Amino acid sequence: INEKSNIDDYRKLSENLQKEFQHIFQRCDMTGEAHNQLHSYLHPMSEWFKTLKEGDMDECRSAVASLNEHLEKYDSYFK
């Protein structure tokens, strides 16, 4: 995704991210607090994926920015 991306690019990104997201949940074997932290970290992403699938260009750009910011916080959830 870049400044030349169109709405179809965002839709495809949503599709790809959803597939990876489902794969993570299907293979999750964590338990206890680590499991809870993983789900707390992943949960907000589903709304951004939905925006990428259904939103307009401005909403999609905002969702990607939010996703990138969230991914940068990974280390604060896991050590």
* Domain ranges (residues) in the chain: 7-77
* Number of helical (H) and strand (E) elements in the chain, helices listed first: 4, 0
- pLDDT attached to residue 20: 95
Average pLDDT over residues 49-61: 97
- pLDDT attached to residue 76: 84
| Mean pLDDT of all residues belonging to the chain | 93
pLDDT at 59 over 90: yes
Q: Tokens 């280390």 sit at which residue?
A: 75
Query: What digits encode the pLDDT tens for the residues 24-49?
Result: 989 989 899 988 988 889 999 999 99
